[in-house]
Structure 1
Amino acid sequence: MAGANTEFELRGVNHLALVCRDMKATVDFYQGVLGMPLIKTIELPMGWGQHFFFDCGGGDALAFFWFPDAPEPVPGVSAPKDLPDRGELVSAIGSMNHVAFDVPPERIEEYRDRLVAKGIDVGVVLNHDDSEFGVARDVHDGVFVRSIYFKDPDGVLVEFAAWRRRPGGLPGDVRHEPKTAADRTGPPAT
């Protein structure tokens, strides 16, 4: 099997931990809007805050910390300023750019409509391919994933991604040389 891990038996994502401003608003969004069951809640010791876990499918969890003294986010630094189909994708080194949930390919348009009906600002369905800009207007054989993007109450960029074919199986799926810190055009590291 291409890409099999021979070092460690990794079985997927246990959980991804993010930080929220308002745990109730976070529960209302992830459980109430997206339907993810709340599976574990923790009050942190010494008044440090809370840590809640949601089942996001496939045995994986999405977790949130609430800290009473957490600093405010900086859009464009800690997260992209807007949705990718609106021209925003960049976030800072060390930030979490977005979290993507796998959804059935035949339901991507339905899920977009359902989110819009719930009052969520959702981008257009993107057909990701290997073209110059990485997105095609129409679905064709080269489209490997279709997705939609939206934000949670804290500005976390969320994606519903629907594989049309799993990557790693075709020649050219892995063909680019990795860039180094010397290739950066942004401010130098401090």
Structure 2
Amino acid sequence: MKDHMGNSLHLKSLNHISLLCRSVVESIDFYQDVLGFVPIRRPGSFNFDGAWLFGFGIGIHLLQSENPEKMPKKSEINPKDNHISFQCESMGAVEKKLKELGIQHVRALVEEGGIQVEQLFFHDPDGFMIEICNCDNLPVIPLAGEVARSCSCLNLQTMQQERPMLQQERAI
């Protein structure tokens, strides 16, 4: 289990995320106009349509779907769904801008030890969810040992009971 600790792959940072799009042009407009990303040069050797954008230390690679009409579109905003999160300076300013742009969004509030984190969730044109938050209010506290493998304290007891069984399965 100690193999999982540390940086065995020598990672430095998150480079980019790739998103499949119904319309790369529509997605460029969204990521540029709503989130402030900037289009950047993309290698010309690619034999498929797409665009690269950059902002806030991360790249977003937009890939044109070969079957855009078959792509599912999510309409319900579910904060527990896949998403990418951005920290902001002013939650009020973000919500005002989303309202001005007519972008449907859901608010959420997380409280931990008296610290509150506000969250806004909304979809890009293809249904990929974006979160904007003031998550930097929460301290980053590394966990060690078994606790680090747990998604929540509720799972810790179950995980401790299952660990001997998992170790036996690996030995087989």
Q: Above 0.5 in TM-score?
A: yes
The residue number in structure 1 matching 2:61 is 63
Does structure 1 residue 82 correspond to structure 2 residue 95? no
Aligned positions, number: 148
Letter of the aligned partner of 2:77 in structure 1? Answer: L
Does structure 1 residue 100 correspond to structure 2 residue 72? no
Distance 1:127 1:81 in 2: 21
1:145-184 aligned within 5 A: 145-163=117-135, 164-168=137-141, 175-177=153-155
Shift in CA distance, 54/176, structure 1 to aligned 2, threshold 3 Å: farther
Q: Deviations over 1:69-120 (max 9, x none)?
A: 3562335xxxx651136xxx45xxxxxx11112223xx01211111211221
Q: Which has the higher helix share?
A: 2
Distance 2:100 2:123 in 1: 15
Letter of the aligned partner of 2:53 in structure 1? Answer: F
Distance 1:42 1:66 in 2: 15
Q: Of the candidates 76, 93, 113, which is equivalent to residue 110 of structure 1?
A: 93
Letter of the aligned partner of 2:23 in structure 1? Answer: D
Distance 1:35 1:123 in 2: 20
RMSD across aligned C-alpha pairs, in angstroms?
3.1
8 Å Cα contact 2:19/2:62 also seen in 1: yes
Question: What SS does structure 1 have at the residue aligned with 2:118?
Answer: strand
8 Å Cα contact 1:41/1:50 also seen in 2: no
Q: Deviations over 1:124-161 (max 9, x none)?
A: 2x22135xxxxxxxxx7243x32100111111111112
The residue number in structure 2 matching 1:12 is 13
Letter of the aligned partner of 1:167 in structure 2? Answer: V
Distance 2:20 2:12 in 1: 24
Distance 1:7 1:25 in 2: 39
Unaligned runs of 5+ in 1: 91-96, 131-139, 181-190
TM-score (norm 1): 0.64
TM-score (norm 2): 0.70
Letter of the aligned partner of 2:76 in structure 1? Answer: D
Shift in CA distance, 127/170, structure 1 to aligned 2, threshold 3 Å: farther
Q: Name the % identity.
A: 20
8 Å Cα contact 2:115/2:138 also seen in 1: no
Distance 1:82 1:167 in 2: 30
Shift in CA distance, 50/166, structure 1 to aligned 2, threshold 3 Å: farther
Q: CA deviation at 1:62?
A: 1.4
The residue number in structure 2 matching 1:137 is none
Unaligned runs of 5+ in 2: 160-172
